């Protein structure tokens, strides 16, 4: 597992403070991040691979300062967006997965082999030559996962990966996240996804309101929203 460290991290956008003096060390296999809309939870996880740079404080992944060494960190940390359309960049399903591997120094044969294996793993082999943006919502999220995981990152950060999906596809994505060998950090409003995680962190008004075992953290969150 990676070691992800937030030290005195704060974030402001103009006059609005989103995070205040957050100190966390993340080492567990499965970590859930929950909180109300606007609480700062998505901003927090986007700092893990440099999508957001903190106004003050530092974020490190295995000792690498994310702000200074973002390229190296992004080889270790894969990011799944809420809307998979935001990360589908190539015309066809096969091309989109292969695109991730182009800068890895692999031969065309190795890229083809790893791409085919990823498509098979996520049930997309029959759609290899189909237009990526014409897939269903669930298939697009599977494609987003395949395109990230084909690069074999140590950590997967998923920012509300089931929010735009119907119940069936949300359950399928949730089950996949539970079976991954990588460290998984999930931001979600679907609390059942994190009920059996190793750790759950509650973010409220830019601060850590609870941090610990799921039962305890979820109880705190439910009290806050009530």
Q: What architecture does CATH give domain 4-225?
A: 3-Layer(aba) Sandwich (3.40)
pLDDT in tens, the chain (226 residues): 899 999 999 999 988 999 999 999 999 999 999 999 999 999 999 999 999 999 999 999 999 999 999 999 999 999 999 999 999 999 999 999 999 898 787 899 999 999 999 999 889 999 999 999 899 988 999 999 999 999 999 999 999 998 888 888 888 889 989 999 999 999 999 999 999 999 999 999 999 999 999 999 999 999 998 8
Q: What gap in Å lies between CA 11 and CA 23, rounded to an integer?
A: 13
Q: What pLDDT, on the 0 to 100 scale, is given for residue 52?
A: 95
What is the residue whose two structure tokens read 């940390």? 77
Q: What pLDDT, on the 0 to 100 scale, is given for residue 142?
A: 92
Q: What gap in Å lies between CA 3 and CA 112, rounded to an integer?
A: 32
What is the per-residue pLDDT across 40-75, written as a single tens digit (0 to 9) for each?
999 999 999 999 999 999 999 999 999 999 999 999
Q: What pLDDT, on the 0 to 100 scale, is given for residue 10?
A: 97
Reading phi first (left if > 0) and then psi (alpha if -120 to 50, else beta), residue 63 is in left
Q: For strand 56-61 and strand 64-65, is the pairing parallel, antiparallel, or unpaired?
A: antiparallel
Listed by start position, the domains of the chain span: 4-225
Q: What gap in Å lies between CA 3 and CA 1, rounded to an integer?
A: 7
Rounded-to-10 torsion of CA 65, 66, 71, 73? 90
Q: What pLDDT, on the 0 to 100 scale, is given for residue 106?
A: 87
Q: What pLDDT, on the 0 to 100 scale, is given for residue 32?
A: 97
What is the residue whose two structure tokens read 């290899």? 128
Per-residue CA distances from 30 to 64, 157, 197, 199 (Å)? 21, 10, 5, 7
Structure tokens at 206: 């830019």
Specify the DSSP class assigned to residue 160: S
Structure tokens at 145: 């996962």
Q: What gap in Å lies between CA 75 and CA 134, rounded to an integer?
A: 28
């Amino acid at each position: 597992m990676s070691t992800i460290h937030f030290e005195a991290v704060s974030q402001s956008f103009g006059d609005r403070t989103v995070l205040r003096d957050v100190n966390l060390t993340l080492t567990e296999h499965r970590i859930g991040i929950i909180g109300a809309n606007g609480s700062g939870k998505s901003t927090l996880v986007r700092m893990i691979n440099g999508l957001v740079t903190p106004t003050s404080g530092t974020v490190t992944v295995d000792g690498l300062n994310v702000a200074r060494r973002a390229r190296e960190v992004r080889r270790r940390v894969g990011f799944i967006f809420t809307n998979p359309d935001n990360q589908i960049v190539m015309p066809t399903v096969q091309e989109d997965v292969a695109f991730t591997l182009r800068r890895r120094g692999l031969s065309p044969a190795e890229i083809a082999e790893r791409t085919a294996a990823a498509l098979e793993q996520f049930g997309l082999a029959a759609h290899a030559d189909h237009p990526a943006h014409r897939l269903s919502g669930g298939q697009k999220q599977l494609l987003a996962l395949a395109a990230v995981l084909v690069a074999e990152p140590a950590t997967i950060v998923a920012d509300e990966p089931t929010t735009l999906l119907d119940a069936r596809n949300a359950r399928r994505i949730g089950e996949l996240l539970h079976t991954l060998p990588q460290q998984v950090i999930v931001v979600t409003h679907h609390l059942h996804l994190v009920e059996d995680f190793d750790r759950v962190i509650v973010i409220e008004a830019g601060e850590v309101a609870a941090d610990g075992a799921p039962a305890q953290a979820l109880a705190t969150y439910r009290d806050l929203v009530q």
